[in-house]
Amino acid sequence: MQLGLVGLGKMGFNMRERLRRAGHDVVGYDRAAEVRDVASLEELVDQLEAPRLVWVMVPAGDPTRETVERLGELLDEGDLVIEGGNSRFSDDQRNAEILAERGVRYVDCGVSGGVWGLEEGYGLMAGGAAEDVERAMPVFDALRPEGPREEGFAHAGGVGAGHYAKMVHNGIEYGLMQAYAEGFELLAAAPQVENVPEVLRAWTRGTVVRSWLLDLMVQALERDPQLENLRGYVEDSGEGRWTIEEAINNSVPAPVMSAALFARFASRQDDSPAMRAVAALRQQFGGHAVHHAGPTSGAGDVHGH
């Protein structure tokens, strides 16, 4: 099958390779000249035979909207666009409407797998009309993991459902990662445990907490047993925030995912203003000792009143 792929970053580049290994004819475009097959979107569209299929893998927000709008100007009736980036689900209806003005079809697809997707395959969650999803199934089958289709692919519903499913997937991921991280810290702090990496490695087989994320944690510890080469600073992709917003909108309690998101916010604060306020209040009402900021601040700079 022939398709165009717009965006050859960390995931798009590997997706192109996996599709080619499966025998598909992929024409790739990216702003980076060293990885692209064609120099422009116009050239990409010209090289595809109608009815065309174009998969978009560019950053969410303005880059995706601008790409979709430009494709809407270049493509013809009967062509199909698949938007596979980490876009907010609420953007999908607008994208679909822009393309529909030219008779171009639209499918949104949440993609999970990261840099491991080339060899392991990608988890795919599609949203759109059944006939559009079916048309793209050869591409989905090439990208998903080997095995039964339902274990690596889902037609989640209409336009927007794919990105909604991926949003919730990432919210769950936040919670799982935070639980493993807190478990690691507790093990490392306990004087009774002398080999934290070995404990975590043992959990990867036969236990109820085994998972691919745990496997990746073990791999990280094999390279850096104390994780001393990393800062405890963690960004969020946006999908974790959107998940919590949707939990609020739908009155769904989500304390684990919420706490995991807020923990990421806390990771970016070298000296939390909120915790300074807590320290000040404890000192005021209870006379508790505090640590004063400054060149000599530290364990020895503790005062009580």
Q: Which residues are catalytic?
A: 166, 173
Is 298 buried (19+), middle (13-18) or exposed (0-12) by CB count in 10 A?
A: exposed
Residues 175 and 152: their CA atoms lie apart, in Å, by 21
Contacts of 277 (CB under 8 A, 6+ apart): none
Residues 28 and 13: their CA atoms lie apart, in Å, by 9
Residues 161 and 246: their CA atoms lie apart, in Å, by 13
Locate 45 and state its tokens: 């569209």
In the chain, what is the straight-line distance between the N-terminal and C-terminal CA atoms, in Å?
76
- Based on C-alpha coordinates, what's the Rg of the chain? 24
From the list 228, 208, 209, 211, the residue with the least C-alpha distance to 220 is: 228
Q: Is there a contact between 106 and 159 (Cβ–Cβ < 8 Å)?
A: yes
Q: Spell out a b/e string for 199-222, using b for 16 or more CB atoms within 10 Å of the CB, else e.
A: ebbebeeeeeeeeeebeebbebbe
